[in-house]
Amino acid sequence: MSTRLSGRLTRLLNLVPYFTANPGISAAEAARDLGVTPKQIMDDLNQLWVCGLPGYGPGDLIDLSLSEDSIVVTFTAGIDRPLRLTSTEATALLVALRSLLEMPGVVDPSAAQGAIAKIEAAAGSAAADHDAPPAVSDDPVAATVRAAVHRGRALHLTYYSASRDTVSERDVDPIRVVLIDEHTYLQAWCRAAEGVRLFRFDRIDAAAELPEPARPPAAVDDEDSFELFEGDPTLPAARLRIDPGYSWLIDYYPLTEVQLQPDGSCTAVLRFASPEWMTRLVVGLGAGVTVLGPADLVAAVRARAAAALDAYDALAVDEPDPGRVTEL
């Protein structure tokens, strides 16, 4: 969820108790109190009109009597009451919080641990985990990145790129922290690449907050969707044939132009920055992956595979024959 949408959700959830505590207040007065425009207040209230409890019929939805001069909540649908968790709900929430603690950079560990303690205290022994894991200290790099995102500051990163097999220094304008497939990423505008990039937290070797605000392009900052891997057209592309038993590679590598073949195999394209890395990858995968191009990569893979076979042959010559008896 984007920062913009999550901010509106928080505001919507606070409107019902606010207007319940201030019956008859005008949209202009409410806008001044809440730091938004009167139009935004009216738009939010119209959104609340279709929110409520399951069933979503009369008596289930929030009801309002409103005009720009007077706003009154006539039915709150229970949002004015404190949330009370069942033991099952509390346990599920505790499990989720502990899972977040195991993923670097997603949350501030001290805040999550404080929330866990409060939930356990409120829910009682039914939701408490007597075998809870020990306290987790915050990773300094993750804390720096998360603080920069919160403060809206630019960052200088030392980053290991797995696809290029290199470590680089770059200045970035943070946009948000996202969680994808159990990995935490910083989504940011990379000034060197002049594009949006994802930086995996466990590959950020160092991070330093810069004394300047983050200024990602406005259109990028407002975009909620993005691709996890975006091919760099300037990099060379390897065309691969992948056997049916190796289809798991599609989930592990940023393959593009994937085409399924009648025999169950597929062809795909993988861009790479380091020919040595690409050669090692293909040779390590064995007979399940065949390089179709470019020609120089095909030659490099063949040469490396031949060298590996020669090394095995040399070991076989040096090893004694177990069936041969040595006479003394």
pLDDT tens across 78-113, in order? 776 655 666 777 777 777 777 776 666 666 667 777
pLDDT score at 130: 46
161 to 54, 138, 181: CA distances (angstroms): 47, 23, 18
Q: Is residue 54 part of a domain?
A: yes
Find the range with the poorest average confidence among 30-34, 103-107, 226-230, 290-294.
226-230
Q: Residue 286: pLDDT band by 50, 70, 90 thresholds? A: confident
28 to 24, 43, 76: CA distances (angstroms): 12, 13, 22
Same domain, 186 and 241: no
Tens of pLDDT, residue by residue over 187-215, are 889 898 888 888 888 889 999 999 999 99
Q: Is residue 162 part of a domain?
A: yes
Tens of pLDDT, residue by residue over 117-167, are 777 776 665 445 545 555 555 678 888 998 898 889 999 999 987 766 788
Mean pLDDT of the chain: 78
Nearest residue to 277 via CA among 196, 166, 200, 180: 166
123: β partners: none
Residue 223 carries which side chain, given as an amino acid letter?
Answer: E
Same domain, 157 and 181: yes
Domain with residue 152: its CATH number is: 2.30.30
| Cβ-Cβ contacts under 8 Å for 133 (sequence gap 6 or more) | 98, 101
Same domain, 242 and 313: yes
**Alpha carbon distance 84, 106 (integer Å):** 26
pLDDT score at 85: 66
Q: Is residue 302 part of a domain?
A: yes
* Helix 27-34 × helix 3-21 angle, to 10°: 130
SS3 (DSSP) at 301 = helix
Mean pLDDT over residues 181-188, rounded?
A: 79
| Cβ-Cβ contacts under 8 Å for 277 (sequence gap 6 or more) | 163, 164, 165
pLDDT score at 82: 55
Domain with residue 7: its CATH number is: 1.10.10
The range of the structural domain enclosing residue 258 comes to 237-317
Q: How many domains does the chain have?
A: 4
